[in-house]
């Protein structure tokens, strides 16, 4: 990607609030979440504002501009399409005709924003040009399952309906646009790691791009990968996703979780990947067994996330400073961090915590241990952890959703100042370089120190819920 980022970039991809079209004025969705370079995909559009021009921007560093224009359409005649249909599971689907068939010949692998423009108004549609192979590369994951789970376009998400009386959806369809600006979670939780990774000029650092759907459907996708990077919010995982990532880790592939609340809900993809199901109920889900859609820590097949991420999801909402616990940790090189140093605003929204419970790796190393006040609950902590495996992999977890905002710079999130952003950026540069060099655990074995924080085995301090016995 070093040669790619030498191309001139542009800031024209950005949409300010004054020019953001509403969800009914202008909207679009693609017929797939990822393609190989050269493959076509369909774009389905609705516009109350007349003809639409589509520009494809690839996210990257590009001298700090953040993206490069790779393709532009002519003016596409588009009209307002009928409203979506909603079924008994509150699944919202659109049946819009294909407005444009886009060929990706010559498009480099990467994460893209399609910028829809009609008059003075604009919106985004996300797309990934995925990698044919990940061998020898650092893999950046786009968490499309989580994106869709939170998508409220058309009235229903996996969290709520259009009003207090309406229930939430039990299954959500990719056959609809995304809400808000059209790509809210890409920009909030994935843009920062992408820009950071693509800014690095390291000879061993070659990047690959995939989605959570690609991880689900391709058992050997991660064969030979140097590392896998989970973004700031990667909450919904299917059983195949988890097993494929675990197999890669056990074979020596490094893992990094740059957020919190990862691998919290067990979900199911449909055979074509266009429907994500999560009943969030053992009794409500008609499927009983390994793929019942409950929290990963719950019965009938409890498999808590700590055996993969090193921690358990702890709490929402959260807001605190990151506090260093182990300043000798190898990824802190160059930060100047000392024990007890605080970095403003890097702990927030949702957090993870290390617990002395079954599944937690025996050698888990607590790097940061940050006190977090809670409203009407006892105070808790957000942890940053690292563990290594017998196969040589190193697994690093930041334990905070606010981390990726720090990668975008000071003021990308409230309270993150220049000092905190520099700390997050320096550590993450060290992380990506170390992951790209090979199995981190072979040169940097974890030094277990969980007992040093006096952690309780009780999860009652958090909002993540109890862990069912195995």
Predicted confidence at residue 294, as pLDDT, reads 98
Residues recorded for the chain:
470
Three-state SS at 227: strand
pLDDT of residue 2: 74
Q: Where is 421: in which H helix or E strand?
A: helix 418-437
CB 265 within 8 A of CB 236: yes
Residue pLDDT, tens place only, 32-89: 999 999 999 999 999 999 999 999 999 999 999 999 999 999 999 999 999 999 999 9
Between strands 67-72 and 53-59, the pairing is antiparallel
User: What backbone torsions phi and psi does residue 455 show, to the nearest 5 degrees?
Assistant: -70, 140
Percent of the chain with pLDDT over 70: 100
Residue 321 in tokens: 């400073």
1 pLDDT more than 80: no
Domain 4-127 maps to which CATH number in 3.40.50.1370, 3.40.47.10, 3.40.50.720, 2.60.40.10? 2.60.40.10
Give me the mean pLDDT over the 101-114 stretch.
98
The token pair that represents 468 in the structure block: 């069912």
Q: Are 233 and 263 in contact (CB under 8 A)?
A: no
Here the tokens at position 228 are 């896998």
Section 215-236 average pLDDT: 98
Give the Cα separation of 128 and 111 in Å (integer): 5
At residue 202 the predicted structure's pLDDT band, cuts being 50, 70 and 90, is: confident
pLDDT for the residue 274:
98
Q: Which of 105, 139, 297, 127 is nearest to 218 (CA)?
A: 139
Q: Residue 204: pLDDT above 80? A: no
pLDDT at 214: 98
DSSP secondary structure of 332-382: GTTT---TT-EEEEEEESSEEE--SSTTS-TT-EEEEEEEE--TTS--EEE
Rounded CA gap, 416 and 308, in Å?
29
Which pLDDT score is estimated for 378? Answer: 85
Q: Tokens 């100042």 belong to which residue?
A: 417
Residue whose pair of structure tokens reads 């988890």 in the numeric block: 242
Using CA atoms, how far apart are residues 91 and 84, in angstroms rounded to an integer? 10
How many angstroms separate the CA atoms of 254 and 48, rounded?
A: 47
Domain assignments of the chain as residue spans, ordered by start: 4-127, 138-453
For residues 14 and 67, what is the distance between their CA atoms, to the nearest angstrom?
A: 9
Mark out the alpha helices in 171-273 (DSSP H runs): 184-185, 191-199, 212-217, 239-250
Spatial separation of the C-alpha atoms in residues 47 and 35, rounded to whole Å: 25
**138-453 CATH fold:** Rossmann fold (3.40.50)
Residue ranges of the alpha helices (H) in 270-331?
306-309
**Are the CB atoms for 291 and 277 separated by under 8 Å?**
no
For residue 221, how far is the Cα from the chain centroid?
18
Phi/psi for 269 (5° steps) reads: -90, 145
Task: Tell whether the model's pLDDT for residue 154 goes beyond 90.
Answer: yes
24-47 tens-digit pLDDT = 999 999 999 999 999 999 999 999
Q: What average pLDDT is seen over the chain? A: 97
Q: Tell me the Ramachandran region of residue 180: left when phi exceeds 0, alpha when psi lies from -120 to 50, beta otherwise.
A: left
Domain 4-127 and domain 138-453, same fold? Reply is no
Q: Is the pLDDT of residue 341 over 80?
A: yes
At 399, is the secondary structure helix, strand, or coil? coil
Residue 405: burial class (beta carbons within 10 Å; 0-12, 13-18, 19+)? buried
pLDDT tens per residue, range 356-414: 999 999 999 999 999 999 987 889 999 999 999 999 999 999 999 999 999 999 999 99
CA 227 – CA 432 distance, rounded (Å): 8
Quick check: 197 pLDDT over 80? Answer: yes
The whole-number pLDDT of residue 377 equals 84
pLDDT digits (tens, 9 = 90+) for 344-363: 999 999 999 999 999 999 99
């Amino acid at each position: 990607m070093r040669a790619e980022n030498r191309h001139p970039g542009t800031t024209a991809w950005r949409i300010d609030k004054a020019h953001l079209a509403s969800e009914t004025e202008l909207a679009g969705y693609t017929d797939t979440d990822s393609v190989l370079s050269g493959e076509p995909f369909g774009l389905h559009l609705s516009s109350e504002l007349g003809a639409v021009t589509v520009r494809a921007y690839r996210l990257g560093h590009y001298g700090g501009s953040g993206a490069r224009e790779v393709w532009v359409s002519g003016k596409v005649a588009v009209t307002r399409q009928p409203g979506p249909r909603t079924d008994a599971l509150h699944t919202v689907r659109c049946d819009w005709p294909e407005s444009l068939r886009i060929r990706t010949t010559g498009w480099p692998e990467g994460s893209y924003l399609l910028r829809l423009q009609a008059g003075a108004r604009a919106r985004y549609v996300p797309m990934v040009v995925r990698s044919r192979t990940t061998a020898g590369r650092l893999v950046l994951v786009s968490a499309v399952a989580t994106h869709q789970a939170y998508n409220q376009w058309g009235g229903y998400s996996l969290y709520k309906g259009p009003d207090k009386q309406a229930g939430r959806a039990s299954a959500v369809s990719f056959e609809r646009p995304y809400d808000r600006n059209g790509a809210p979670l890409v920009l909030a939780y994935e843009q920062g790691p992408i820009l950071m990774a693509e800014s690095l000029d390291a000879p061993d650092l070659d990047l690959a791009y995939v989605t959570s759907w690609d991880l689900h459907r391709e058992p050997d996708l991660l064969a030979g990968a140097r590392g896998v990077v989970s973004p700031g919010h990667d909450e919904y995982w299917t059983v195949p996703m988890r097993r494929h990532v675990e197999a890669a880790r056990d074979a020596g592939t490094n893992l990094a979780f740059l957020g919190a609340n990862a691998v919290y809900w067990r979900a199911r993809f449909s055979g074509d990947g266009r429907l994500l199901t999560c009943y969030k109920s053992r009794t409500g889900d008609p499927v009983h067994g390994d793929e019942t859609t409950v929290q990963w820590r719950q019965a009938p097949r409890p498999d808590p996330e700590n055996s993969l991420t090193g921690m358990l999801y702890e709490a929402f909402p959260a807001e605190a400073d990151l506090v260093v616990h182990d300043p000798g940790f190898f990824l802190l090189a160059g930060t100047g961090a000392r024990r007890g140093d605080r970095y403003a605003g890097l702990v927030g929204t949702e957090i993870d915590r290390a617990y002395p419970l079954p599944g937690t790796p025996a050698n888990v190393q607590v790097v940061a241990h940050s006190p977090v006040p809670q409203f009407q609950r006892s105070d808790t902590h957000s942890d940053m952890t690292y563990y290594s495996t017998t196969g040589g992999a190193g697994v690093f977890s930041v334990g905070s959703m606010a981390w990726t905002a720090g990668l975008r710079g000071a003021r990308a999130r409230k309270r993150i100042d220049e000092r905190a952003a520099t700390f997050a950026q320096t550590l993450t540069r060290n992380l990506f370089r170390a992951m790209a060099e090979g199995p981190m655990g072979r040169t940097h074995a974890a030094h277990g120190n969980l007992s040093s924080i006096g952690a309780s085995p009780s999860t009652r301090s958090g909002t993540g819920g109890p862990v069912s016995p195995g």
